Chains A and B, each alone.
Chain A
């Protein structure tokens, strides 16, 4: 027993020494950023300062988290034990997997800095060391912990995508984000999030996700993670397995529903049973065995790049079928995730502020936005796409607010309402709103909301009021498209 402790102690010292040596390639990322105000989309919040961590990778680049540099107005890097600030810029960014690659144009920044090599997936219970510039001090900080578990986790930066994630009890605090997680001489992940209310629960992005991102951008542009457009559920009900002609205790998880585009492609069908994804057999609970860890099979769905094919072994009509599914990047659910870098689109007419319906907009209702947003909004945002895909609008538009003025003072429904038609034109996008107003020659404009409520505006008075309203409320331009 004493020998075991001695061995573990030396292994720990070796790990820390190795991490400390590689810590020279770890940089502090200081950011000034400015986020938009989604219900007053011509305005921004005040510029705020924040900090994170990054590390040098191949190609004279710095890797960090996307959330560290989102909405950045200025990015400054500080090297290990070097007081000089170095201006950086974002070269590639993936908000879905919360990763970004930075470039430093000033010569000399990378002098003496070794790119850190990426390793593989660490084993559960193995020791890792996080490294970065967390809050509480100025100097680089190292903390040791073990890998607690490995599984799919929702990435909070985007909010609506899940990727493989590694949980550790090593401290991951504000400022650690973007910092490397070492195991031996290799980076096995990037620290990126914690769980409020839980202690010693930090998460890092494993190298599989990092490598997918780096391979994606190797052609000079970021495409994103493709999706298969299927919902997979466990298949452990013996009666259901018999119904599908499968042995009661065998493998395979069932496709429960398909996205509209997957259904149209016709390669996959509801009640198909996925027996294997690539080389990984799929268990009846929907998991695969990945380097000794049981993780959800969608992990393997995230391996192909855009345009590549995903090989599936399917059980359909009582026989095995091999299917190669072309994997494409989809943005159909972009508005139910957090949006970054592109300021919100809007159009102001007669004091009526129109903007696309997005999660960021409804979150302006407060923490209890789910209880505040009306049912039409929630349905349009989350359910329409699945329940009535033929009626999906490309960009549902909402009347965000109304800037008070005599021309609109008689409107009863003046904010937080979904637009159905304007002057009889069905509103599919924000551009439709503009066209509907501009093309109308009748004395009144008629706005019909999805709830059925109708409001009208006097055409001539609205045109005359526009410049005054923009001036009164300090709006530079009536639209951002």
Chain B
């Protein structure tokens, strides 16, 4: 057997190059960016509302720009003491929750002791096109950094924790035990998201683009909570239904079956309007749209996608919108006559 040296050499060079260029940035020292939380909170008895019991919870957070710690909002309600530990061992530092939004399931914590920040470094968040490959979950466990592989599954839109505001979730499978307490999901040198919960082997992850857009809004003091559509719609996959409502020439659209579910709200939408597009995104007959970051997801997410409770103003026929930023825009098609109107966007103010 002849050994083809040039071929092997070329293969080695190619493999090395692939390994180098497949990562956008060098792997950071996650020990310098992940912290442990110890939270003491009151657990109220809602049947005997004056009765409460102290409860402690452990979770994880990550250092972000501006000497702040980002974590999930879970476990922070009714808190009485928030303590943080860096390096997986040693001294505990008192922290204060600077900002929390239970619907978005995110919180920012500050530590006033300058000694805490020594040796800590902020993480970098991944972009939308970096969310699916080479995933790992990283956390402190027993004083050491634990890493387990994860595999991307899909993006989905779920109801927020305490109301119907939609939020995007990334589903990924991993065998890491007991995950779902704010662990970092990373890819290369960037943070892909925070692990919010785990059921079986499936982790629900708050994706990085969702986090960064909220943090940016918060930084500019412009974050007013997640929005949600206050109307109810149904898919229109039945050809007889499209014929009945005379929009069979359209390739998509969903049927509005309850204009507003909020009392006292005057909605510009009418019963049996066909919603063809929102914010310029065409809606298909299942009620999905093609999100540039997350692929096909349900249209409910358009109520909060980079909007965060923007005030919506009227639009005139033809689609002039007056709001400076994101606007929910629905074209109404009745009897094959197109008109335009805006839909209201309810706000969920952050806590």
Contact partners of B239 in chain A: CB under 8 A = 410, 458
Smallest CB–CB gap between A195 and chain B, Å? 30
Is A444 located at the chain interface by the 8 A CB criterion? yes
Q: Considering only CB atoms, which chain A residue lies closest to B235 in the complex?
A: A412
Residues of B within 8 A of A458 (CB): 239-240, 243
Query: Do B272 and A456 touch across chains, with their CB atoms under 8 A apart?
Result: no
Contact in complex: A444, B257 (CB < 8 Å): no
Instruction: Give bound CA distance, A457 to B258, whole Å.
Output: 21
Q: Which residues of A (410-425) have their CB < 8 Å from a CB of B? A: 410-412
A443 within 8 A of B: yes
Chain B stretch 232-254: residues in CB contact (< 8 A) with chain A: 232, 234-235, 237-241, 243-244
Contacting residues, chain A, for B232 (C-beta < 8 A)? 452
Question: Is there contact, CB below 8 Å, between B243 and A453?
Answer: no
Smallest CB separation, A344 vs chain B (Å): 28
Q: Which residues of A contact B235 (CB under 8 A)?
A: 412
B255 CB-CB contact with A under 8 Å: yes
Residues of B within 8 A of A410 (CB): 237-241
Q: Is the CB of B243 within 8 A of A456?
A: yes
Nearest B residue to A449 by beta-carbon distance? B257
User: In the complex the two chains form, is B243's CB within 8 Å of A455's CB?
Assistant: no
> Nearest A residue to B240 by beta-carbon distance?
A456
B240 touching A457 by the CB < 8 A rule?
A: yes
Bound: A457/B239 CA distance, A: 9
Interface flag for A446 (CB, 8 Å): yes
Contact present for B234 and A456 (CB under 8 Å): no
Given contacts A452-B257, A454-B257, whether A443 and B243 have CB atoms under 8 Å apart is yes
Q: Name A residues whose Cβ lies closer than 8 Å to a Cβ of B.
A: 410-412, 442-446, 451-458
Binary interface encoding of chain B residues 53-67 relative to chain A, with 1 for a CB under 8 A from any of its CBs, else 0: 000000000000000
- Cα–Cα distance between A453 and B238 once the two chains are bound (Å): 12
Quick one: closest B residue to A409, CB to CB? B238
Cβ A452 vs Cβ B244 within 8 A: no
Q: Which residue of B lies closest to A451 (CB)?
A: B257
- Looking at B234, B244, B255, B258, the one whose CB has the most chain A CB atoms below 10 A away is B244
A411–B18 alpha-carbon span in the complex (Å): 51
Chain A residues lying within 8 Å of B237, measured Cβ to Cβ, are 410, 412
* B241, closest chain A residue (CB): A456
Of chain A, the residue at the smallest CB distance from B256 is A452
Interchain Cβ contacts under 8 Å between A and B, 27 examples? A410-B238, A410-B239, A410-B240, A412-B234, A412-B238, A442-B244, A443-B243, A444-B241, A444-B243, A444-B244, A445-B240, A452-B232, A452-B234, A452-B257, A452-B258, A453-B234, A453-B257, A454-B234, A454-B241, A454-B255, A454-B257, A454-B272, A455-B238, A455-B240, A456-B238, A456-B241, A458-B239
Q: Which residues of B contact A454 (CB under 8 A)?
A: 234, 241, 255, 257, 272
How far, in Å, is B298 (CB) from chain A's closest CB?
15
1/0 per residue, CB under 8 A from A, across B202-242: the answer is 00000000000000000000000000000010110111110
Residues of A within 8 A of B243 (CB): 443-444, 456, 458
Nearest to B232 among chain A residues (CB) is A452
- Cβ–Cβ < 8 Å partners of B257 in chain A: 451-454
The CA of A411 and the CA of B241, in the complex, are separated in Å by: 9
Tell which of A442, A451, A454, A458 has the most Cβ of chain B within 10 Å.
A454
Nearest B residue (CB) for A410: B238
- B148 CB, nearest partner CB in chain A, Å: 37
Please give 14 more A-B residue pairs, beta carbons under 8 A apart, in addition to A412-B234, A442-B244: A411-B238, A443-B244, A446-B241, A446-B244, A452-B232, A453-B234, A453-B257, A454-B234, A454-B241, A454-B257, A456-B238, A456-B241, A456-B243, A456-B244
Cβ of A414 to closest chain B Cβ, rounded Å: 11
B103 to chain A, nearest CB (A): 24
CB-based closest 5 A-B pairs: A452-B257, A456-B240, A410-B238, A444-B244, A456-B241
- Taking the closest CB of chain A, its distance from the CB of B230, in whole angstroms, is 14
In B88-145, the 8 Å CB interface with A consists of: none
Residues of B contacting A411 in the complex (Cβ-Cβ under 8 angstroms): 238
User: Are A455 and B241 within 8 A (Cβ)?
Assistant: yes
Tell me the complex Cα distance, A442–B246, Å: 13
Q: Within the assembled complex, what's the spacing in Å between the Cα atoms of A454 and B242?
A: 11
Residues in chain A near residue B241, CB distance under 8 A:
410, 444, 446, 454-456
**Which residues on the A side are within 8 Å of B272 (C-beta)?**
454
Residues of chain A with a CB closer than 8 A to B258's CB = 452
Closest-by-CB residue of A relative to B238 is A410
CB neighbours of B238 from chain A (8 A): 410-412, 455-456
A445-B235 Cα distance, complex, nearest whole Å = 18
Q: How far is the CA of A451 from the CA of B257 in the complex (A)?
A: 9
How far does the alpha carbon of A53 sit from the alpha carbon of B237 in the complex, in Å?
58
Q: How far is the CA of A443 from the CA of B244 in the complex (A)?
A: 8
Residues of B within 8 A of A453 (CB): 234, 257
User: Within B152-193, which residues are at the interface with A (CB < 8 Å)?
Assistant: none
B276-319 CB contacts (< 8 Å) to partner A: none
> How many Å lie between the Cα of A456 and that of B242 in the bound state?
8
Please give the distance in Å from B179's CB to the nearest CB on chain A.
31
In angstroms, Cα B239 to Cα A416, docked, is 22
Q: For the complex, give the distance between the alpha carbons of A277 and B161 in Å.
A: 54
The verdict on A444 contacting B255 (CB below 8 Å), with A452-B232, A454-B234, A454-B272 known, is: no
Q: By CB atoms of chain A within 10 A, which of B238, B240, B258 has the most?
A: B240
Best-surrounded residue of A445, A446, A452 (most CB of chain B within 10 A): A452
Q: How far is the CB of A2 from chain B (nearest CB, A)?
A: 57
Which residues does chain B contribute within 8 Å of A412, judged by CB atoms? Answer: 234-235, 237-238
Closest chain A residue, CB of each to CB of B243: A444
How far does the Cβ of A409 sit from chain B's closest Cβ, in whole Å? 9
Alpha-carbon distance between A454 and B255 when the two chains are bound, in angstroms: 8
The smallest beta-carbon distance between A447 and chain B, in angstroms, is 10
Tell me the minimal C-beta distance from A48 to chain B in angstroms: 41
With the chains together, A451 CA to B232 CA distance in Å? 10
Which residues on B sit within 8 Å (CB–CB) of A452?
A: 232, 234, 257-258
Contacts of B234 in A (CB 8 A): 412, 452-454
- Least CB distance, B86 to chain A, in whole angstroms: 48
Give complex CA distance A458, B241 in Å: 9
How far is it, in angstroms, between the C-alpha of A21 and the C-alpha of B334 when the chains are bound? 83
> In the complex, what distance in Å separates the CA atom of A315 from the CA atom of B8?
105
User: How far apart are B332's CB and chain A's nearest CB, in angstroms?
Assistant: 16
